[in-house]
Amino acid sequence: MIRIKKGREPGKLLWYRQQDGASYEQMDKEVREELIDQLLREQGHLCAYCMSKIPESRNLQSGVPAVTIEHWLPRNPDDKLDIGQGLDYKNMFAVCSGNRGCGCEEKLTCDARKGNDAIKVNPCDESTLRGITYKSNGIIQSSDPVIDEDLNQRLNLNGANSSFQENRKQVLESLIFDVKKRCGNGDISLYCKRRLEKIQSMDDPKIPYVGILIWWLEKHIK
C-alpha cells in the first residue's frame, strides 16, 4: 500500500454536491463516470488497498463492476453518523471488485470484505503507512497491531483464498532478478536508488503491487 495524493475534486461532482437533495445513491451516471476516471488516474490505475491493476481484465460475475468507488469512512456506518462523507471526494478511492460474486465470504477482499467496518489504515494518511513492511514471501504487515489487523482481517490482503501474496512475491522476485543481472556481486545501492526514483516518478499507470518494490529498494539504498 502506498500513499495516494488526492487532487482537486472533479467539476461535475462539485456541481452535483451543491444541488438540493444530492446523495451518493442518486448520483448521475455522468458524474460517476468522471469521478471514477479521475480516481483511476490519481491512483495510477491501482486498487487503493491491494494495489492490483484496475479496471480488472478478468471475467467477473454478472453485475460485478470492474471498478468500485470505496468510501474510507463508511457511507452507512453502524453508528449512523453522517458528516457528508458520501459525497466527500477526499473520502473516496477506486478499488477492485474484491471478489464480489464469488459466493464465499472468506474470499472477499478490500472494500468488499471491509463493508461498513471502520479501519485505521488510510492510503491518504502517510502516518498510517509508515509501519507497513513486507516479507520476501509477499506478506504485507504493519508494526501497528490495529493496522496489521486491518490488513489481515478487515481487508484480507494476505488471505489464502486470494492471489495477492503470491503476486507480490512474483513482482519482488522479478525485481531482485533484474538487480542481480545488472549488478552481479557488486554494489547495488546506486542502481536501487535509480530504480526507486524511476518507480516513484510514475504517475499513471503505476506498476501493480508497487508497494513491495518500493519497500525492498529503500532497504537496499545506503
Task: Please report the pLDDT score of residue 78 as a whole number.
Answer: 61
Task: Please report the pLDDT score of residue 160 as a whole number.
Answer: 87
Task: Please report the pLDDT score of residue 197 as a whole number.
Answer: 96
DSSP letters of 75-86?
A: SS-TT---SSGG
Residues of the chain short of pLDDT 50, as ranges, are none
Report how far residue 87's alpha carbon sits from residue 166's, in angstroms, rounded to the nearest whole number: 35
**pTM of the predicted structure, to 2 decimals:** 0.92
Report how far residue 115's alpha carbon sits from residue 72's, in angstroms, rounded to the nearest whole number: 10
Task: Please report the pLDDT score of residue 80 as a whole number.
Answer: 56
Query: Structural domain boundaries of the chain?
Result: 11-219
102 and 123 Cβ atoms separated by less than 8 Å: no
Task: Please report the pLDDT score of residue 177 as a whole number.
Answer: 96
Task: Please report the pLDDT score of residue 57 as a whole number.
Answer: 73
| The CA-based dihedral angle spanning residues 80, 81, 84, 88, taken in that order and rounded to the nearest 10 degrees | -90
The model's pLDDT over 136-152, given as tens digits with 9 standing for 90+, comes to 999 999 999 999 999 99
Task: Please report the pLDDT score of residue 101 as a whole number.
Answer: 79
Report how far residue 148's alpha carbon sits from residue 160's, in angstroms, rounded to the nearest whole number: 16
The model's pLDDT over 121-179, given as tens digits with 9 standing for 90+, comes to 999 999 999 999 999 999 999 999 999 999 999 999 999 888 999 999 999 999 999 99
Task: Please report the pLDDT score of residue 39 as a whole number.
Answer: 97
Task: Please report the pLDDT score of residue 37 as a whole number.
Answer: 96
